[in-house]
Amino acid sequence: MLSYFSFLKLFRFKKNIEHPKVNLSDLSERLKYKFTDTNILYQALKHRSYLTRTGEKRIESNERLELLGDAVLGLVVTEYLYNKYPGEEEGILTNFKSLLVNRKLLSHVAKDFGLGKFILLNEAEERSGGRKRVSILSDAVEAIIGAIYIDGGLVNAKLFIHNNITNRLDDILKKGQLKNYKSILQEYCQSYNIKCPKYKIEEENGPDHKKIFTVAAFVDGKKMGVGQGHSKKDAEQKAAKESLIQLNVI
């Protein structure tokens, strides 16, 4: 098994490399973290498309840092929720976690930093709107978390996550997102890279003024939950809730 310091060596970079393509000092100020080794921040910004311009191998993109950052984010968020809600069961904590680690929220974090303009892309990806793409922005945030962890350890990574991610939970809950089962199911699927849920009307019964809709929710192509209501939206919410129960999320 690799020691902690042997593991860190896998991420070491050459010192004093100039990166004229991006203003790392400006970004560091926005992130409120000063990197000892700015080369790791540079790599965190390097989308795989950019490698077609530099001729580098896939390993030089930000994907390894993204993988590490995702793991660190998951650990820190789970620990935070475990301590903050000592009386809640696992399903509720999983629900809360899905609200904090999903791509949509991370992309909002990226936009708050103006991160899009710092990400390194090739011309084709840039022309197609890559700087505003949710997946690219959220991946870059995870890569930056990984970079901070490597450069400054878990303490600094936790501080960054608490200042920019977990501190949003109370506001999310105040907006009532927990009552929107379709939203929760959507966030759950995004968090675990599952195909987005689909809803299908299976039956319509009763007169027009008192019609009952039966809707099935499909998750990753599988029928997961069924709900009934006097409107399509109500039936979809109930189908989403049943799906979350089947998935042990609530």
Helix (H) or strand (E) holding 29: helix 24-31
Check 37, 66, 70, 139 and give the catalytic one.
70
User: Tokens standing for 38?
Assistant: 């700015």
- For residue 160, give every residue at least 6 positions away whose Cβ sits within 8 Å of its Cβ, in sequence order, or none: 31, 32, 33, 144, 145, 148
Based on the residue annotation, tell me whether 37 is a catalytic residue of this protein: no
Three-state secondary structure call for residue 248: coil
181, 219 in Cβ contact below 8 A? no
220 annotated active-site? no
Spot the catalytic one: 139, 142, 187, 236: 142
- How many CB atoms lie under 10 A from the CB of residue 156? 16
Distances (CA, A) of 221 to 16, 216, 240: 50, 11, 14
For β-strands 198-205 and 222-229, DSSP reports them as unpaired
- Cα separation, 140 vs 112, in Å, equals 13
Q: Exposure of 122 by Cβ count < 10 A (0-12 exposed, 13-18 middle, 19+ buried)?
A: middle
In this structure, which long-range contacts are made by residues 96-99, counting pairs with CB atoms below 8 Å and at least 24 apart in sequence? 96/169, 97/191, 98/184, 98/187, 98/188, 98/191, 98/249, 99/169, 99/172, 99/177, 99/178, 99/184, 99/187
Q: Which residues are catalytic?
A: 70, 142
